[in-house]
Amino acid sequence: MNIFETIKLGSNLLRKSEISSHILDSEILLSNILNKSREKILVNLDQKLNHKNILKFKKYIERRSKNEPIAYILEEKEFWSKNFIVNKDTLIPRPETELLVEKLVGLFKDKKISILDIGTGSGCIILSLLSSLEKSVGLAVDISKNAILIAKKNAERHKLSNRVKFFNKSFESIFSKKFDLIVSNPPYIERKKIKNLSEDIKRFEPIMALDGGNDGLDLIKKVIYKSKRILKINGTLALEIGDEQIKKVSKILIDNNYRIIHVIKDYKNNVRCIFALYR
């Protein structure tokens, strides 16, 4: 089989499983196996493939046909122009979260700050920040031991291990240090709405990293309350939040002596991030 026939085979199988991005997914999976860019394989459609690569492709297609996200099949996801290792113990980094990183890099460019990342997952937020804020240092926590192992691997991959420490513990157990910036993308989906998520999210991504409790605000509230004790005066708290949570989160922040300084809208025009100073 050549590249054209292989992509077509994969695409047809995925279409039968109602995967809407069947052609693109087929191309991405094959380009990964061949270790070439999509563009390169699409201009060499007559290239013959060996049996081993075809077998591997079919296994990938079978997994994708069951709605498994491509990031988990390939065990990596691009974020902030870097490839991060991901697996089922970590959320898949989203483009919206890059908006959070972009704003923070702009705010703290050339400054030397200490950063705490709460619920670090793959470590993509803290590592992206440190790669751009070259004078800064970080600490990151997650209650998932397996997520912390992945985050440490990502720190090694991006040569940042000397500027960040990862701990498998709850952020509520941090007392001995104060930070210039606390950043978190906490679980913020209302428990009853998890069943409405797409199959690839609710079946494969860690529920613990999605479930924000009955109102979606359980962890957000805890982060806001705890941050008061471990932020420096005029330190910044940067949160990613869910759709239509801006009013409630703003009220909690203001009631707890924070001053809101920025909100960021995502690509669908929903407020996705909120930044506040602790006074």
User: Domain coordinates of the chain in residue numbers?
Assistant: 3-66, 78-278
Mean pLDDT throughout 148-176?
Answer: 95
**pLDDT reading at 121 higher than 90:** yes
pTM of the predicted structure, to 2 decimals: 0.94
Nearest residue to 124 via CA among 80, 189, 75, 162: 80
Decide: helix, strand or coil at residue 138: strand
Q: How far apart are CA 262 and CA 264, in angstroms?
A: 7
Domain 78-278 fold is: Rossmann fold (3.40.50)
Per-residue DSSP letter, 163: G
pLDDT of residue 218: 96
Report whether 75 contacts 86 (CB < 8 A).
yes
**pLDDT reading at 251 higher than 90:** yes
Decide: helix, strand or coil at residue 139: strand
Lowest mean pLDDT among 91-105, 142-156, 168-182, 237-251: 168-182
Report residue 38's pLDDT band, with 50, 70 and 90 as the boundaries.
very high
**pLDDT reading at 174 higher than 90:** no
Report whether 274 contacts 218 (CB < 8 A).
no
